[in-house]
Amino acid sequence: MTVRLVLATHNAHKVEELRRILGDRLDGIELIGYDGPEPVEDGLTFAENALIKARAAAKHTGLAAIADDSGISVDSLDGAPGIHSARYAGNRDDRENLELLLANLEGITDREAQFTCAAALVDGDFEHVELGVWPGSVLTGPTGVGGFGYDPVFQPHGLTVSAAELTADEKNAISHRALAFGQIMPVVRAQLLR
């Protein structure tokens, strides 16, 4: 028997990345897309926004839903862009967001940053959230052609390349999203496959 789980996102990059990350952890679970209304993400944290999205998808579909909220937080910018990462420059435009981040860091030597991902599961009254944090720093300019979002300017600690220079498999083994979903999948499996 296969259980259906709604992935509450309209972001095609995220869907593809999560299918790769989750792989065989989806055995017995059919991950289905979500084309319902997008809720207003007015939470103050990544966890709150992930729960808002998962609750909306679960309510709209009547199925268990999983969602995430993620972004990059730069220490010297008091955590910005943070929960506003996707619309940092006003629109959902990766290039404009990246350019604004680099402009705001011009002349700043402390470029420590971290990607954070909150993964949330909502199944009826059951709610659970896990966090994944990927520490690194912001480069002075973009490098690499892989990934999306801020990947071309994010250099994970311990590496000499940007996240955009990693293969999909390399990134999906160590990223904030991989960490958060790796932590939440045992909970998902226990909740849905009982």
Query: Looking at the annotation, which residues are catalytic?
Result: 69
Residue 69 known to bind ligand? yes
Instruction: Output 42-45 pairs: Cβ under 8 A, ≥24 positions apart.
Output: 43/69, 43/83, 44/83, 45/83, 45/118
Task: Say how far residue 54 (Cα) sits from the centre of its chain.
Answer: 13
Residue 24 known to bind ligand? no
Other Cβ atoms less than 10 A from the Cβ of 9: the count is: 19
Phi, psi dihedral angles at 57 (to 5 degrees): -70, -40
Residue 87 known to bind ligand? no
CA distance 25 to 12: 20
Residue 84 known to bind ligand? no
Residue 176 known to bind ligand? yes
Residue 59 known to bind ligand? no
Could you tell me which residues are annotated as the binding site for substrate? 9-14, 70, 148-151, 171, 176-177
Could you tell me which residues are annotated as the binding site for Mg(2+)? 69
Could you tell me which residues are annotated as the binding site? 9-14, 69-70, 148-151, 171, 176-177
